[in-house]
Amino acid sequence: MNQYVTGAIIKELREKNKMTQLQFADKLGVTDKTISKWETGKGYPDITLLEPIADVFRISVTELISGNAIQNANVSANMLRSKFYVCPVCGNVIHSMGESVITCHGIQLSPLTAEPADDQHKVTVERIEDEYYVSVDHVMTKDHYISFLAAASSDRMQMVKLYPEQKAEARFKINGVKMVYYYCNHDGLFLIGVNHGTNSRQKWPDGSRIS
C-alpha cells in the first residue's frame, strides 16, 4: 500500500461529522487517547480498523486513504457520477459508483472521461412504451466496435455488453434515465442526455414533448 490514512484526514473528517474524539472512539471501540495519537501523528490505526473508520464517516476505504472525501461532501451513491474502466488487454468493463482502485491483467486502470456525442458516433434514443431503444450508427467489426451501452438514472445503472459483428443497440427500462453512455474501442467513452438524442414524439411525464 503506497498510501495510508493520515491523522490530518481523520481529524478533518471527525470534525466535519461534528464528533468529539471520545464519541468517535466509542464508535470504534478504542480510547480517546488512541484517537489523539492518530490525529497528532504519534500512531496509525491498525489496518483492521480502516473499514470501521470509513463506515463511521460514511465513505469508502479508498476515499478514506486518498482523502478525496474531504473535497467531496456528498459521498452518497449517485449513478450519474459513475466511473467506467475498460481493460485494454481483454476488454473487461468495470463500473464504479465512487473512487476505486481497479486493476485487470496487472494493469491499474484509469477512469474513462466521457465526451459529448459527435458526428462520428451518432446515437439515437427512442422511447417505445416503457423502454428506451438506443442505437449507435457505428461499424461493428472485430477491430472497431461499440463495447457497451449504459443508461444511468440517479439510483441505478443499466448496462449491456456488446460484441463485434452484432448491432450497436440495446433496450433500457426508462426508470428515470437521464444519461446514456457508450464506449468505442478506438475513440473512447461518449455520453448524451437522453432528451437530446430522442426522436420519439411521445411526451415526458410533465406533458412536454420529447424533442
Structurally, how many domains does the chain consist of?
2
pLDDT, tens digit (0-9, with 9 covering 90-100), for 117-137: 888 899 999 999 999 999 999
Does residue 189 sit in the same domain as residue 125? yes
Give the tens place of pLDDT for each residue, 160-174.
999 998 999 999 999
Among residues of the chain, what percentage have pLDDT more than 70?
Answer: 85
pLDDT in tens, 1-44: 345 788 889 999 999 999 999 999 999 999 999 999 999 888 88
Q: Rounded to an integer, what distance in angstroms lies between the CA atom of residue 28 and that of residue 22?
A: 10
Residue 204 has pLDDT above 50, yes or no: no
Q: Domain of 52?
A: 7-70
Structural domain contains residue 180: yes
Q: What is the distance between the alpha carbons of residues 119 and 135, in angstroms, rounded to a whole number?
A: 14
Q: Which of 70, 103, 125 is the last residue of a domain?
A: 70
Helix, strand or coil, per DSSP, at residue 171: strand
Q: Tell me what pLDDT residue 145 has.
A: 94
Note whether residue 208 is domain-resident. Answer: no
How far apart are the C-alpha atoms of 1 and 29, rounded to whole Å? 25
- Reported as a single tens digit per residue, the pLDDT across 60-117 is 887 787 766 444 444 444 677 789 999 988 889 999 887 778 888 888 888 899 999 8
CATH number at residue 57: 1.10.260.40
How many Å is the Cα radius of gyration of the chain? 22
Residue 127 lies in a domain: yes
